[in-house]
C-alpha cells in the first residue's frame, strides 16, 4: 500500500528548510542592493555638482569681458577667489578665480599666469574643499 501512496504536499520540515535557505540567501542579496542604492546617491551628488559648476561657468562666460577683466585685475592672482564667488556659508560653495592668461607663453617662463595678455581671461570655477573644478578662457570680443 505505501508504494502506491502519493504525496499530497510539503511537509513541515521541507517548509522550514526552504525558509531557512531563503533567509540565508536574502542577506547577500540585500547587501548587493544596498551597495547599488548608495552608488546611486553618490552619482546623483556628482551630477548635481557638475550641473552647478557648468551653470556658474556659463554665467561667467555670459559676463561682459570688461567686467571679467576688472575682477581679474582686482584679484591680482590666479589663486585669489573673486567677488563672483558664492558668499561664505555652508560647505560646497562655488569659488570663481579669474586671471589674465599668457596663452602664447611670450615671456617663455611656462607659467600661464605671468605676463598674461590683457585680451584673454582665464576662468576657473571650483567647489570649495573638493577636487571638482571647471576652467576655460574668454577672449575680448567673444
Total-model pTM? 0.71
Per-residue b or e along 53-75, where b marks 16 or more CB atoms closer than 10 Å to that residue's CB: beebbeebeeeeeeebbebbeeb
pLDDT of residue 6: 64
Weakest mean pLDDT among 4-8, 13-17, 108-112, 119-123: 4-8
- Domain limits, the chain: 12-139
pLDDT of residue 109: 82
Mean pLDDT in residue range 107-131:
86
Weakest mean pLDDT among 15-19, 28-32, 104-108, 138-142: 104-108
Mean pLDDT in residue range 23-45:
87
pLDDT digits (tens, 9 = 90+) for 38-65: 888 888 889 999 999 999 999 999 999 9
pLDDT digits (tens, 9 = 90+) for 104-118: 777 788 878 877 778
Amino acid at each position: 500500500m505505501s508504494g502506491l501512496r502519493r504525496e499530497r504536499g510539503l511537509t513541515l520540515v521541507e517548509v522550514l528548510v526552504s525558509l531557512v535557505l531563503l533567509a540565508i540567501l536574502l542577506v547577500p542579496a540585500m547587501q548587493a542592493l544596498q551597495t547599488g542604492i548608495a552608488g546611486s546617491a553618490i552619482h546623483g551628488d556628482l551630477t548635481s555638482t557638475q550641473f552647478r559648476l557648468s551653470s556658474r561657468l556659463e554665467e561667467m562666460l555670459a559676463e561682459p569681458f570688461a567686467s571679467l577683466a576688472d575682477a581679474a585685475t582686482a584679484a591680482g592672482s590666479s589663486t585669489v577667489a573673486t567677488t563672483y564667488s558664492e558668499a561664505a556659508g555652508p560647505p560646497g560653495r562655488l569659488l570663481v578665480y579669474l586671471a589674465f592668461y599668457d596663452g602664447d607663453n611670450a615671456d617663455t617662463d611656462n607659467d600661464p599666469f605671468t605676463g598674461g595678455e590683457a585680451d584673454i581671461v582665464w576662468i576657473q570655477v571650483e567647489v570649495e574643499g573638493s577636487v571638482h573644478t571647471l576652467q576655460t578662457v574668454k577672449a575680448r570680443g567673444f
